[in-house]
């Protein structure tokens, strides 16, 4: 299959979803005096058509001895307002309301290891564009088995010029894994993917926090 055609098919698969859920991790490498150490961000995604979205992620402090200090973030859209909610360890939670959903996603991009963009852009292309279809020199690599799923593998270059690869499930056309190069290389893994299942709208209520400008 042609790589560009596959990516178009992937965008179509996500556009047709009435709901979506997953859990996953982003694994990055941090340089320390003792060498390279893994930096793991855990996340979960929940979506209900037409526009309810909640992406929660938690990251440890980048200094290894302070790894027990966790920052939790939620990037979401409650049907009316886009927001970015943040709580650093045991400090009071803060919430920043945004005029556009894309601004909330942009605020969460770096701290989520870019993982917030992966599915949000596929579910809301009219608000964000679709980065995976912007891969340059996209080409098919050999198929691979990944955590029990047979996957197409597409490799190419992002608009920023770094190497990127995407693992796409043969059957569901969902993204199971993404590998990104650049200054902060990362590996993003998505598990427990559930599509078109009932989801309670109550899950998307904006969490409370101190208003932040």
Give me the CATH number covering residue 23: 2.50.20.10
Give the range of the structural domain holding residue 74, as residue numbers without chain letter: 3-208
DSSP label of 104:
H
d(CA 195, CA 213): 35
Specify the pTM: 0.93
Domain count, the chain: 1
Peptide bond into 50 cis (omega under 30): yes
Tell me whether residue 213 is in a domain. Answer: no
Q: Walk along the chain (213 residues) and give the pLDDT tens digit of each residue.
A: 799 999 999 999 999 999 999 999 999 877 666 667 788 999 999 999 999 999 999 988 877 777 788 999 999 999 999 999 999 988 999 999 999 999 999 999 888 988 999 999 999 998 877 778 888 999 999 999 999 999 999 999 987 788 999 999 999 999 999 999 887 789 999 999 999 999 999 999 999 998 886
DSSP SS3 for 160:
coil
């Amino acid at each position: 299959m042609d790589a560009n055609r596959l990516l178009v098919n992937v965008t179509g698969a996500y556009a047709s979803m009435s709901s979506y859920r997953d859990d996953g991790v982003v694994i990055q490498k941090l340089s320390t005096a003792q060498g390279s150490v893994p930096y793991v961000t855990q996340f979960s995604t929940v979506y209900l058509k037409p526009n309810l979205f909640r992406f929660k992620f938690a990251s440890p402090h980048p200094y290894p001895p302070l790894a027990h200090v966790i920052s939790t973030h939620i990037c979401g859209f409650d049907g009316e307002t886009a927001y970015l909610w943040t709580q650093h360890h045991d400090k009071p939670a803060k919430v920043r309301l945004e005029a556009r959903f894309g601004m909330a996603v942009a605020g969460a991009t770096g701290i989520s290891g870019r993982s917030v963009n992966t599915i949000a852009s596929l579910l809301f292309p009219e608000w964000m564009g679709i980065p995976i279809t912007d891969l340059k020199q996209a080409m098919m690599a050999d198929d691979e088995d990944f955590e029990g799923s047979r996957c197409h593998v597409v490799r190419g270059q992002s608009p920023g010029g770094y190497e990127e690869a995407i693992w796409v499930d043969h059957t569901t056309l969902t993204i199971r894994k993404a590998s990104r190069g650049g200054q902060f290389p990362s590996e993003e893994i998505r598990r427990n993917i559930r599509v078109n299942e009932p989801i309670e709208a109550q899950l998307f209520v904006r969490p409370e926090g101190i208003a932040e400008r």
